[in-house]
Chain A
Amino acid sequence: MPQTPRVQLFVTCMVDLFRPRVGIAAVRLLERRGLAVEFPMAQTCCGQFAFNAGHHKEAAAMGRQLVRAFEQATPGDAAAVADVPVIALSGSCAAMVSHELPDLLERDALDRGAARATAQRWRRRAESLARRVVELSVWLERDVARVNSNPAEGSTAPTATQPGPDTVGPVPVAWHTGCHMRRLLQVTEPPIHVLEAAGAAGHELPDADQCCGFGGTFALSEPELSAAMADTKLQALATPRADGAACLVSADLGCLLQLGGRLQRAGDTYPVLHVAELVDLADQGELTPLGIARAAEARGGEG
């Protein structure tokens, strides 16, 4: 057994493809906190987009792949990962795995004509992944000791909890909780300790519980309706913006792509950040207007 605690990273397809620097930020911040980060490379997608569109056969195929990927982190030894947390970079994808996957895989196995025992096995395998999966900010928040990076463990980065003499107080940021995080994972508050340790203060938007209009394939098949919902959310964002919020932060990249994409279409460069990026910036002492703008704009090899 390794001395350092292990975690497995579930980056999600959207982070992987559209904003990999969120994943990179997560790796760095976890390592700074003394964790050995594993990335099972056979992971693709949790299948939520297909699941929500009613394509359950296809969603189940992706779900099985996800289950396998996280079982195989240590080749040939599924038992070894049984207690290793799976850190998800999306509340929505974490909810898909923890709330839908066991039922889905069992049902799909039966639909494909598998024996009841086989279907049960798929359920159990999905359940063991469901037990392990936890969204990043929830996982950090759950153990206050974790929210600070640990310089003793090899990081040279300054921590935001030891503000320099010129620090004037926490950086206000607007915080958006995604709907699945809020209603399936039942996380209704911003991760106060995580933000505090990062030197930030989260301000929720008015009507915080309203959907931003992303909704997976909904955003693709209903662009006008989805954009109208985004615009309502962006109107609400005007309140924390007027109060000086430096950026919009969320634990769900889907919401951020939706809101950021709508801002950009209007020529608005207001920065949006994933919570992993925010913590990583803070770890490096760069949670400043300039640092935020750079992080939000950085193309990090993209494009």
Chain B
Amino acid sequence: MPGVLPPPGTPWKARLAHALADTTLQGAISRSTHNLAAQRDAAYAGYARGGELRDAARAAKRASVARLDELLAECTRNVEAHGGYVVRAAGPDEVARYVLDVARRRGARRVVKSKSMATEEVELNARLEAAGLHVRETDLGEYIIQLAHERPSHIIVPAAHKTRGQIREIFDREARSAAAAPPADDSTPALTAFARRQLREAFLAADIGISGGNYLVAETGTLVLITNEGNGRMSTSLPPVHIAVVGVDKVLATWEDLGLVLQQAPLSGTGQRLTTYVSLISGPRREEELDGPEEFHLILLDNARRELLGSEFEDVLTCIRCGACLNVCPVFRTIGGHAYGSIYSGPIGVVLTPLLGGIEHAPELPKSACSLCYACRDACPMTIDLPHHILSLRVMQVRRQIEPASQRFTVALWSHLWASPGGYRRTVRLARLGQRAYLRKGRLGPVPRYLPAPGLLGGWLATRDAPPVARETFHEWWGRHRGRSDGSTGRSTLAPAVPGTDPSALAQAPAGERPAAPAADGATRAPERTERNVP
């Protein structure tokens, strides 16, 4: 059973066109991804044990995922022993229902949130607002995009697509509607000062604080939050109720594991050895304590995560959402996160979105949003095999016949023909005929409107010129110059290195006229000229 993710909204081609037309967005995304990737490289370059510790962290995370159910049970027992409540949520509805129940019981009206992808995944804000609650995001980036009515465009830098100028405009608008003083200018200090002023009020007025969670330590039932702004600490300790929505994949067995894993997200994500704040939360305030909420609720969100256990995709559960794969991805760098139409963008989004939302959810992601450059696999601290997962998802799509029939047919026929030399030669002849209409000065250039080029050729020629299929292919050249009439594949003689001077050039041996060779698996194969693969 797949989980439930927010729908992608507009179609892929429209999202793509939108992103490709927005040069401001492209500039902002390119700058932030380049900076983050460079910071990561610099951090590793100055960290002799970095690689070794990353490998140890990966092993710890994988071992925890392998014992997931057992660790979740242990974690639950321990959180409850501290006086916290733990609930399992299969999907978005269960999360929203539980939070609204708590809000109703407490008579709550105002909610503050620290940054959480899990709550984005279940569209919690919209659901709470629909029930009449007032929700305020308190992470600076989340605050910006909340005011702009957008979704995060990057899993760790939600407003990566915004320039300072744009942020100032958003804040100016907010200042007018809240009757507050606007930011002095578009410098970072002025912008953060404005946000801090506005958010301070929200923290003090809030009835409920909602957070995500980066890790759960099973052996003590501890929730771990890593932030750079300190808003996480405020959201979880000032309001009288703290609700954490945490994916089940976040559980680690021990503090030793946490020690290893803790540093990996900042190291690979932003090039920090550690985030500015690390909050360790073990239940509500106790008798002797001064700070902390009266109630602590832990919602463990599944949303199809546990279905990945034991599958070829199990390592996807080891993702620590560091964002490194986004920062190096050439597609992400070109179009940013929104075009993916999923809150999880970049390579991990391409994989995670269909795994959580179902293979038919945003099928364009595995199919179209990856050029298989393998940069993500090299960047991922957990060495999740993202490219091969994308390939596997494409195979699943082909099996389910999700792509248009015409495309399926083209690739299938093409492949079929090319599986035999005879079929291959046939396509060469066909291509030479077919391309005539598009030849201009010996090249294939822009396609005239009155003569649209078919399918894949049309795709290429839409944005690029191409050489035509050669008048003489290499196969043909070799046959003419080096082929042997004895039927062998032809071995060149050393003497005449210049084409046209080879005395054997006249002895043509068309490909395929060779005797059958015994196959290594025993059977005698027909000669290759048998075009048995050609329909």
Contact = CB atoms under 8 A, between A and B. Distances in A.
Contacts of B472: 20, 301-302
B220 to A, nearest CB: 40
Nearest to B473: A16
Contact of B17 (A39, A71, A224): A224
Contacts of B528: 42, 68
A124 B494 CA distance: 33
A118 B398 CA distance: 25
Contacts of B497: 28, 31-32, 154-155, 157
A61 B17 contact: no
Interface stretch (A72-80, A137-145, A158-166, A242-250): A72-80
Nearest to A283: B497
Interface residues of A, number: 97
Nearest to B527: A42
A50 interface: yes
Contacts of A34: 494
A110 interface: no
Nearest to B26: A228
Nearest to A117: B521
B442 to A, nearest CB: 3
Given A24-B499, A45-B424, A40 B464 contact: no
A264 B468 CA distance: 14
Nearest to B533: A61
B63 to A, nearest CB: 26
Residue of B397, B445, B459 with highest tally of chain A CB at under 10 A: B459
Contact of B442 (A40, A180, A207, A302): A302
B517 A54 contact: no
A207 to B, nearest CB: 8
Interface stretch (A168-176, A214-222, A286-294): A214-222
B398 A54 contact: yes
B463 A226 contact: yes
B480 to A, nearest CB: 11
B25 to A, nearest CB: 12
Interface stretch (B208-216, B350-358, B414-422): B414-422
A299 to B, nearest CB: 5
B489 A28 contact: no
Given A58-B415, A62-B418, A17 B374 contact: no
Contacts of B456: 217, 220-221
Contact of B16 (A47, A224, A299): A224
Interface in A58-74: 58-59, 61-62, 64-65, 68-69, 71-74
B372 A184 contact: no
28 contacts: A16-B475, A18-B470, A20-B472, A20-B476, A23-B477, A24-B499, A39-B482, A42-B421, A42-B489, A42-B514, A44-B421, A47-B415, A47-B418, A50-B411, A54-B394, A54-B397, A58-B411, A61-B415, A62-B415, A74-B488, A75-B514, A210-B373, A218-B372, A224-B17, A225-B335, A261-B464, A302-B467, A303-B470
Interface of B: 16-17, 20, 34, 328, 330-331, 333-335, 367-368, 370-375, 377-378, 391, 393-398, 407, 411-412, 414-416, 418-421, 423-424, 428, 431, 439, 442-443, 445-446, 456-457, 459-460, 462-479, 482-483, 487-492, 494-495, 497-499, 509, 511-512, 514-515, 517-521, 525, 528, 533
Given A218-B368, A232-B334, A264-B465, 12 more contacts: A20-B473, A20-B477, A23-B477, A39-B474, A42-B421, A50-B415, A55-B411, A56-B395, A76-B515, A157-B497, A222-B459, A265-B465
